[in-house]
Amino acid sequence: MSSKFYVTTPIYYVNDKPHIGHAYTTILADCLARYHRTAGDEVFFLTGLDEHGQKVQQAAEKRGMSPQAHCDDLAPRFTDLWKKLGIQYDDFVRTTQDRHKKIVQAALQKVYDNGDVYEAEYEGWYSVAEERFITDTEKESGQFRDVQRLKEKNYFFKMSKYQKKLIEYIETHPEFIQPQHRKNEILGFLRQPLGDLCISRPKSRLSWGIEIPFAKDYVTYVWFDALINYISIPGWGSDEKKFKKWWPANVHLIGKDILTTHCVYWPTMLFSLGLPLPKTVFAHGWWLIGETKMSKSLGNVINPLDLVDKYGEDAVRYYLMRDMVLGDDANFTLENFIHRYNSDLANDFGNLLNRVSGLLNKHFEGCIPESFVSEKLIHTTHEVGRRLWQEAQIHINSFKIHEAIKTIMSLVQVANSSLEKEAPWKLIKEGNKAAAGHCLYTAAEALRLSAVALNPIMPGKTKIVLDVLGAEGTGLKWGELKSGTKLKLHEALFPRIEVEKK
């Protein structure tokens, strides 16, 4: 049964060019979106840029540019990278767009009219890097950069009012915060009294933001502005029909460092606006180098573009999806990448194509042979394909994309080893061409099925495989490969990466 699937990524700060952290979540969202499209669901995949706030203003100042010119200059670096990585989003939000700004103002006004906003004098430590006020203990921890002492009048959102409701909601909706240990983390956080949220910044200190409709000397706190993108773009306050269709989102994909904003700030804002909460907020872990997070400020970030230029976007997508257990941290090394590439892509997947097309060219004039199997056998092999897909889908629906890939790759491995076992070249020598044909048909069909199932992960290379087999547009049923089809010529799908021994 088809349904709708609305998936989001965080919207990224435009203070520098994109890095692997941004690329990872965006590829993940793209793979999920593509799987759902394959399954016949209607999909809305939203990503974009977070362009307001002090960080962006400072980055622009450093470059001697106006914040808007700075954002306009950097935005294409993100969209160009997404194009290069094969990302098929349905909409791309930039928070400086009018369609977003006016909705943020409408939301502020609504929260204000509900009596959920008050004015107060506040004195405290402010971390520019985190874009929020921090406590004395946090300041003393020394973990925060760019800390300033601030005393100012501001507007506060009564987040504390919704604390009890939020706890109840989380406890009764186990799918809301995933994985489970992140849910426990948030429930632990909510055991302490919840403060209210400062949602304004005086223009005298920060001018780069959305003006507060009921306080013209203030701009909106960047997180209040940014989170609203998840509803402003699907039409809240502008296109009720569209909004009804898509909201609530099926999943907000985020990194674990922005859990509190998504699982405490955002739901309380939605409560105040009288809107349902997203079905799931899924927090993934970090890509690490050794023990440390890959990050721009530490200078240990591998530019995903470099890997893409060298090894192709599909290999990078495959590695990132296959090697991170969703929810846990993962170690990024070039050795791991090369190992994964050589074993799964060159030796297993690429090699299956080589063998199938090589043997068919040699013994069957480059055509897909007849498959002489009994009804019973067709039935059982069909079952294998069907079960495989069902299993992969269960994994995908429970955010175990690495398991889904493993399942699909098991078909590739089975096909390779059955070729070795049944040795069609020997069967030919023995004069049993029909049996060799059947064996090769089965291997080619397994290759076709795995290409269809891996298409969301590696859209480019799997398209080549389907093209070679003359099977574009085929689906996940066993036996869709047409006997008699002439294979197209092809180059090595994933040429082995030779590593020099030290």
Binding site for ligand MSP (CB under 6 A): 10-13, 21-22, 24-25, 50, 226-227, 254-255, 257-258, 286-287, 293-295
**Is 14 or 356 the residue whose CB approaches ligand MSP more closely?**
14
Cβ distance to ligand MSP smaller for residue 28 or 315: 28
The CB-of-120 to ligand MSP minimum distance in angstroms stands at 25
Residue 484 DSSP symbol: T
Q: For ligand MSP, which is the closer residue by CB, 226 or 412?
A: 226
Could you list the beta-strand ranges (E) of 239-369.
251-255, 280-284, 287-289, 292-293, 330-331
Q: Given the DSSP bridges, would you call strands 197-198 and 147-157 parallel, antiparallel or unpaired?
A: antiparallel
What are the strands, taking DSSP E only, across 14-94?
42-50, 91-94
Radius of gyration, CA atoms only, the chain? 26
DSSP state at residue 350: I
Q: Which is nearer to ligand MSP, 307 or 447 (CB)?
A: 307
Residues constituting the chain: 502
Contact predicate 48/94, CB 8 Å: yes
Question: Minimum distance between the CB of residue 319 and ligand MSP, rounded to whole angstroms?
Answer: 14
Query: How far is 407 from 384, CA to CA, in rounded Å?
Result: 11
| Least distance from ligand MSP to the Cβ atom of residue 146, Å | 15
Measured CA to CA, the distance from residue 348 to residue 412 in angstroms comes to 7
Largest CA distance in the chain: 91
- CB atoms near residue 108 (< 10 Å): 25
- In angstroms, the CA 415 to CA 442 distance is 8
The residue (of 200 and 455) whose beta carbon lies closer to ligand MSP is: 200
Nearest distance from residue 180's CB to ligand MSP, in Å?
A: 19
CA 324 to chain centre: 12
Tokens in use for 486? Answer: 């002439």
Q: How far is the CB of 15 from ligand MSP (least distance, A)?
A: 8
Q: Which of 204, 163, 167 is nearest to 184 (CA)?
A: 167
Give the DSSP per-residue string, 231-272: HHTTTTTT-HHHHHHHPSPSEEEEEGGGHHIIIIIHHHHHHH
- The residue with its CB nearest to ligand MSP is 255
Token digits of residue 337 = 């990448």
The backbone torsions φ and ψ at residue 465, rounded to the nearest 5 degrees and listed phi first, read -60, -45
Helix (H, G, I), strand (E, B) or coil at 23: helix
Specify the residue, 24 or 364, whose C-beta has the smaller distance to ligand MSP: 24
**Nearer Cβ to ligand MSP, position 17 or 363?**
17
Shortest Cβ 227–ligand MSP spacing (Å): 5
We find the least distance from the C-beta atom of residue 192 to ligand MSP, in angstroms, to be 23
Minimum distance from residue 254 beta carbon to ligand MSP (Å): 5
CA–centroid distance for 223 within its chain? 20
Q: 48 vs 385, which CB is nearer to ligand MSP?
A: 48
Closer residue to ligand MSP, CB minimum distance, 228 or 346: 228
CA quadruple 261, 87, 102, 13: dihedral, nearest 10: 50
Pick between residue 282 and residue 494 the one whose CB is nearest to ligand MSP: 282
Burial of 475 (0-12, 13-18, 19+ CB in 10 A): exposed
Q: Which is nearer to ligand MSP, 300 or 483 (CB)?
A: 300
Min separation Cβ 329 and ligand MSP, Å: 8
What's the closest the beta carbon of residue 365 comes to ligand MSP, in angstroms? 50
